[in-house]
């Protein structure tokens, strides 16, 4: 704890109602974003010409973001549904001229769902080869891969991609449903296809079975 006579040079994050001059006021529903804004402000990161995100696609995607080539953050999300909003929120923290999101070319179905969402948000989206991007421990592999993806050059994607899962991908989702339900339920191929296309969550598909 800071002594009452000690000078505090950090940033105070508080609620909108309790904020005083110099504090960083945040809405209780956006506390995570407020903390991230405070972290970047404390590091002096407020503006950039190029703000670039790298995404390692998967059920729990890794995300890394660079400001003019400098790594300023990384995270592994718990699902892909929140990815688009997460990137849009983070992009509001740093004033920038150009926003680019680079997506690794692995995990075909999830990759294409991510690409479609980004394009619908009007974000410049590129695909990057994931060759030689994987390294690190199990806990850091996805964020390290996302960092390498953000650094590498990619090819811009202009059009929405058609999501059409193959038989193997459908069976894999059915297998995931058995794991998720502790072996109690295997969802149908029809429901698995809806999950693959992002029209239904795995949890909801299990509830419907």
Model confidence pLDDT, tens digit, residues 16-57:
566 556 554 555 555 565 566 656 555 666 778 999 999 999
CATH of 45-162, one of 1.10.10, 3.40.50, 3.30.420, 1.10.3470: 3.30.420
Residue bearing the bigger pLDDT, 68 or 16: 68
Question: pTM for this one?
Answer: 0.75
> With bands split at pLDDT 50, 70 and 90, how would you rate the model's confidence at 79?
confident
Confidence label for 86 from pLDDT (cuts 50, 70 and 90): confident
Q: Report pLDDT for 6.
A: 40
For 131-189, write each residue's pLDDT tens digit: 765 655 556 788 999 999 999 999 999 999 999 999 999 999 999 999 999 999 999 99
Which pLDDT value is given to residue 4? 39
Q: Is the C-alpha dihedral spanning 163, 168, 171, 173 positive or negative?
A: negative
Exposure pattern of 1-30 as b/e (b: 16+ CB <10 Å)? eeeeeeeeeeeebeeeeeeeeeeeebeeee
Which one is predicted more confidently, 78 or 105?
Answer: 105
pLDDT band at 7 (very low <50, low <70, confident <90, very high): very low
pLDDT category, 66, cuts 50, 70, 90?
Answer: very high
More confident residue, 130 or 135: 130
Residue 2 binned pLDDT confidence (cut-offs 50, 70, 90): very low
Q: Across the chain, what does the average pLDDT equal?
A: 82
In the chain, where are the structural domains located? 45-162, 164-209
Q: Which residue has the tokens 């769902």?
A: 113
Residue 78, pLDDT score: 85
């Amino acid at each position: 704890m800071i002594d009452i006579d000690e000078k505090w040079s950090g940033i105070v994050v508080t609620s909108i109602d309790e904020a005083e001059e110099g504090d960083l006021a945040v809405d209780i529903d956006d506390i995570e974003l407020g903390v991230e804004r405070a972290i970047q402000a404390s590091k002096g990161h407020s503006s950039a010409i190029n703000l670039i995100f790298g995404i390692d696609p998967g059920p729990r995607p890794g995300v890394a973001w660079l400001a003019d080539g400098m790594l300023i953050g990384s995270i592994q999300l718990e699902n892909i549904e929140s990815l688009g909003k997460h990137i849009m929120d983070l992009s509001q923290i740093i004033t920038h001229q150009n926003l680019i999101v680079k997506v690794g070319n692995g995990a075909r179905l999830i990759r294409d769902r991510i690409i479609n969402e980004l394009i619908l948000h009007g974000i410049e989206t590129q695909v990057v080869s994931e060759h030689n991007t994987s390294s690190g421990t199990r806990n850091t592999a996805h964020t390290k891969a996302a960092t390498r993806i953000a650094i590498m050059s990619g090819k811009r994607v202009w059009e929405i991609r058609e999501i059409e899962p193959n038989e193997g991908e459908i069976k894999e989702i059915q297998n995931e449903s058995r794991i998720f339900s502790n072996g109690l339920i295997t969802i149908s191929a029809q429901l698995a296809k809806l999950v693959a296309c992002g029209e239904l969550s795995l949890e909801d598909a299990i509830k419907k079975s």
